[in-house]
Structures are given as structure tokens and as C-alpha cells.
Structure 1
Amino acid sequence: MALKKIFSGSEILASGLQQKLEAINIFPVVRNNLQAARVSGFGNSGMAVELFIEEREFVKAEAVIDDFKMNL
């Protein structure tokens, strides 16, 4: 399973894109560096949430991702 990073940004925006992808039955892997930083005592960063999807799902997700980014 090869993963492709499709988004890096705030937790709120990542959640919005995640919901749009789940609506078309694509379930991204969420890497939340904010939570990891807080637990470790390092504070936080505004661009600390990343979304990944399987490469084979990218064609199906591309229109949703592009639409989401164009409407930011």
C-alpha cells in the first residue's frame, strides 16, 4: 500500500477535506503532528496535520481535492 500526501495544513481544514473524501468512500490516513507535539511538550505548529490516500485512489479523489483547494 503506497500512500500519497494530498494535504498539509490546519486541523480544521484537514477535517473538512477528510469529510469530503469519506463522502466518496475514500478514507484518508491522518497524521496529526499537533497532537504528537502537545504530548511531547513541544507546543504546536499551524501546518501540522497531513492527509494521505492510497495512490490507486488518487484518480478518484483528484476532483474533490482540487475543488477543495480552489475554494479555500
Structure 2
Amino acid sequence: MNYRTDSEYNYYDRVFESEINLAIQLTEESYEKMLYKDVLKYGFFQLQIARDNYRELCSESEQMNLNLIKRFIEV
């Protein structure tokens, strides 16, 4: 699969980035409250769903952004 490497984000890129940021925030809040079931829910499952949606949307119109994919992997 080919990836875009430009720094300008399109609509799908911004949505995916927001989903990553939201998952990070919710995971941190759940850790602080010791809600480990929610940690797994937000920190793993919601991120996987966001990635799958991003991949599906980009396959219809254009390529995924490599910088966002790297960020997803690092998170």
C-alpha cells in the first residue's frame, strides 16, 4: 500500500488524528480512576476501530498519511 507523506491533512486525516487524541485522553482519565476495563476499551479497541475506519475511508478516495500511521503505531 502506498502512503502520502505531505504535511497537509485532509478531512479524514483530521478526523483520525482527533480520534487518536480522544482515545489518549479517555485512556488517561480511566487510568487515573483505575477503571482498567475502560483503559482497554479506549486504549486498544477504540483505536483499532478508528484505524480501520480511516483505512476504509482512505481506500475509497485517497491514500493514508504516513505521519498519522506512524503516530498511531507509537501510541
Q: State the TM-score, normalized to the length of structure 1.
A: 0.33
Specify which structure has the higher proportion of strand. Answer: 1
Specify which structure has the higher proportion of helix. Answer: 2
Larger Rg: 2
Q: State the TM-score, normalized to the length of structure 2.
A: 0.32
